[in-house]
């Protein structure tokens, strides 16, 4: 069986009646959503907050009831994928470009669960390019700043055009390869005007469910 499927489905078992559930984005969380839709057919009652237009489309097709983040006090549990995870349960997200809403939903959640296959587990973050969401008005200046900082930036292009996020920003991917000091990099990126958000998720996740060789590993 697919390791993403195993991890995604397992996470759905953490959902209880009456919960507000944050729904992440990506191919692993897709399996969580499919399992949730079966559970709804069996009588589960939940409401979900979506992290992207693609997740909204899937949730609507699967009959998962959605609410706006602003209409809920707190989210009980958020289940999301990740692009890289290290042994401290810090990670990189945003491969699909949904990092801003994913982070906003995660930090509004009591519990954050990541579902990944074992290919996402790394000793050091950074081989996966770090996505940074930026204001289009100043993207070229931010790009130059990142070049000057030796962060190897590349503007994300999709089908020959600038990739545009759900909140109408651009993405600059940083090809850093080895992020030696994730906490410092986080602070630096947070301090640059025009940076809306970045895909470094530090001290945000509680549990990682890893699908590996047709079985599961759960790390808290």
Annotated binding site for substrate: 25-28, 80-83, 93-96, 120
Please give the Cα distance from 180 to 200 (Å, whole number).
13
Binding ligand 5RP by CB under 6 A: which of 13, 16, 18, 27? 27
Q: Is 80 in the site for ligand 5RP (CB under 6 A)?
A: yes
Please give the Cα distance from 36 to 199 (Å, whole number).
26
Annotation marks residue 102 as catalytic? yes
Q: Is 94 in the site for ligand 5RP (CB under 6 A)?
A: yes
Please give the Cα distance from 83 to 92 (Å, whole number).
5
Q: Smallest gap, in angstroms, from Cβ of residue 60 to ligand 5RP?
A: 18
Nearer residue to ligand 5RP within complex by CB, 99 or 185? 99
Q: Is 129 in the site for ligand 5RP (CB under 6 A)?
A: no
Binding ligand 5RP by CB under 6 A: which of 5, 10, 35, 93? 93
Pairing outcome for strands 75-80 and 109-117: parallel
Pairing outcome for strands 109-117 and 207-212: parallel
> By the 8 A CB rule, do 61 and 119 touch?
no
Which residue number has the CB closest to ligand 5RP? 26
Q: Smallest gap, in angstroms, from Cβ of residue 35 to ligand 5RP?
A: 15
Nearer residue to ligand 5RP within complex by CB, 18 or 213? 213
> By the 8 A CB rule, do 3 and 213 touch?
yes
Q: What is the dihedral of CA 131, 132, 138, 144, to 10 degrees?
A: -70
Q: How many CA atoms lie within 13 A of 88 on its CB side?
A: 13
Q: Which of 9, 84, 102, 133 is catalytic?
A: 102
Q: Smallest gap, in angstroms, from Cβ of residue 18 to ligand 5RP?
A: 26
Site for ligand 5RP, rule CB under 6 A: 24-28, 80-83, 93-99, 102
């Amino acid at each position: 069986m697919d390791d993403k499927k195993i991890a995604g489905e397992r996470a759905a078992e953490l959902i209880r009646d009456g919960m507000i559930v944050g729904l992440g984005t990506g191919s692993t969380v897709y399996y969580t959503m499919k399992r949730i839709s079966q559970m709804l057919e069996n009588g589960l009652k939940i409401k979900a907050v979506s992290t992207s237009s693609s997740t909204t489309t899937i949730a609507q097709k699967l009959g998962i009831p959605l609410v706006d983040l602003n209409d809920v006090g707190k989210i009980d549990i958020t289940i999301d994928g990740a692009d890289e995870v290290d042994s401290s349960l810090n990670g990189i997200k945003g491969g699909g470009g949904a990092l801003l809403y994913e982070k906003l939903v995660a930090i509004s959640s009591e519990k954050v669960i990541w579902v990944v296959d074992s290919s996402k587990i790394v000793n050091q973050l950074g081989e996966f390019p770090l996505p940074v969401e930026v204001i289009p008005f100043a993207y070229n200046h931010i790009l130059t700043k990142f070049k000057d900082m030796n962060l190897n930036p590349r503007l994300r292009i999709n089908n020959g055009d600038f990739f545009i996020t759900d909140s109408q920003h651009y993405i600059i991917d940083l090809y850093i390869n080895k992020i030696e000091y994730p906490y410092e990099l986080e602070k630096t990126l947070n301090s640059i005007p025009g940076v809306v958000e970045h895909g470094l998720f530090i001290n945000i996740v509680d549990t990682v469910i890893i699908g590996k060789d047709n079985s599961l590993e759960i790390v808290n």
